[in-house]
Structure 1
């Protein structure tokens, strides 16, 4: 067991022993977010849903990125949770024609007859399969986030147990990791969104509680790296310490009452706040 003392000069952190580190995957370790946006957009056509040409051209002119007002709502969610949000947004803002009403507040307007509930599940499942297939194809191109590989290797050299806690399903993770085995081999455990022990997705604490359990440490002794607000809330509600590395478009202020430290990139992480003998300027190359 590795026990690391805190930096006594940091008055905000006292008596903390960081014994393990847990990373989110998408947008934290791997730069999948732009690929994920393109996969979402392409999944409409793959699911026989048509984005009007003028809206599709507008999205293309913006680099095939989802509007931030939408993207910020779905960061960190599982497919079963973010797909209805995306469908509702597309229906309301892009004029995508659909048989079912997915616009905001649709739950209160529906009685959830068995037939309609099954129809909604079928739509979500079809879109989810299309998105995962398209993203898996694109993930041949995925790059590591700035500083991620070096940070993981440096923490591994300190003999810190490492885990990944991701909302992605296992099959998707296996595709994404192919180009990055040098980084993934440092992790003892990977807990995915479809793990049977993860009953509720982020921002519920389930996935981080499970990751801490597998690592063999109390959550309060685990340091979590997250890029999304929902993920940070999930880790904090599990009792973990949180380092946020948010999307460049996200206002960092939203993490003020959630994260213990907020960085622009993982290159900035020195470990000093946590008593780790790590200098980001001397990371392993």
Structure 2
């Protein structure tokens, strides 16, 4: 039975993917005329450093990965000034988890600086989480799909990995949860082909968070808590 739920942030808790596509896509378009959507599946769930290396190498940008990250961060901050919406159904899922109650954490590949910006307009949501683990907290090279991010979150909650349910949207995150010994439910990212989830094989794959079968993970279903 799950005692804790660990949430990925981008594309899982918050609907940030359109903003990332715009920020990253505009850099690539201006520099090369290329289309960032052709490699979106490679970027899902990766750390900022890994994502930057992939983009710079793939499109042969005439800037360093560090310069790309700085420019991406600048554009993301502008796009996120007005706030970042929760994913559809997430408010209801969070309220249900809190009512049971389950212990909650965030485990994200985002930097702590960007995490703060994304959650700035969600103070009520943020206070539900006992721990937030960001890419800054993980040793270089140990981000998702390595298990470290999720294991650190579970450790902060003082819950065993097998008692955790991870919510994700990226194959890298699914592999990380599996490596950590945790169950994982995944929401399909609408910006990539559904086929990318085949090898990752989450315990449940849904199109919307309100479709999740909580009973499968030993959690009271909607309408009970």
Given the two structures, how large is their TM-score scaled by the length of structure 2?
0.90
Retained in 2: the 8 A contact 1:170–1:194? yes
For 1:21-57, what per-residue CA distance to the aligned partner results, in whole angstroms no more than 9, with x for missing partners?
1000000010101101111133458xxxx425xx37x
Q: Pick one of 110, 116, 137 that aligns with 2:78.
A: 137
SS at match of 1:225: strand
Partner of 1:278: 221
Q: Pick one of 46, 49, 52 that aligns with 1:80.
A: 49
Return closer, same or farther for 1:180/1:85 CA change in 2, 3 Å cut-off: same
Distance 1:80 1:151 in 2: 31
Larger Rg: 1
Partner of 1:70: 39
Retained in 2: the 8 A contact 1:198–1:206? no
| 1:31 and 2:31 aligned | no
Partner of 1:42: 26
Structure 1 unaligned residues grouped into runs of 5+: 1-16, 60-65, 100-122
Per-residue deviation, 1:186: 0.8
Partner of 2:176: 234
Structure 2 unaligned residues grouped into runs of 5+: none
Distance 2:146 2:133 in 1: 14
Q: Pick one of 220, 225, 233 that aligns with 2:167.
A: 225
Partner of 1:181: 123
Per-residue deviation, 1:270: 3.9
Distance 2:139 2:221 in 1: 33
Per-residue deviation, 1:256: 6.0
Given the two structures, how large is their TM-score scaled by the length of structure 1?
0.72
Partner of 1:11: none
RMSD of aligned residue pairs (Cα, Å): 2.2
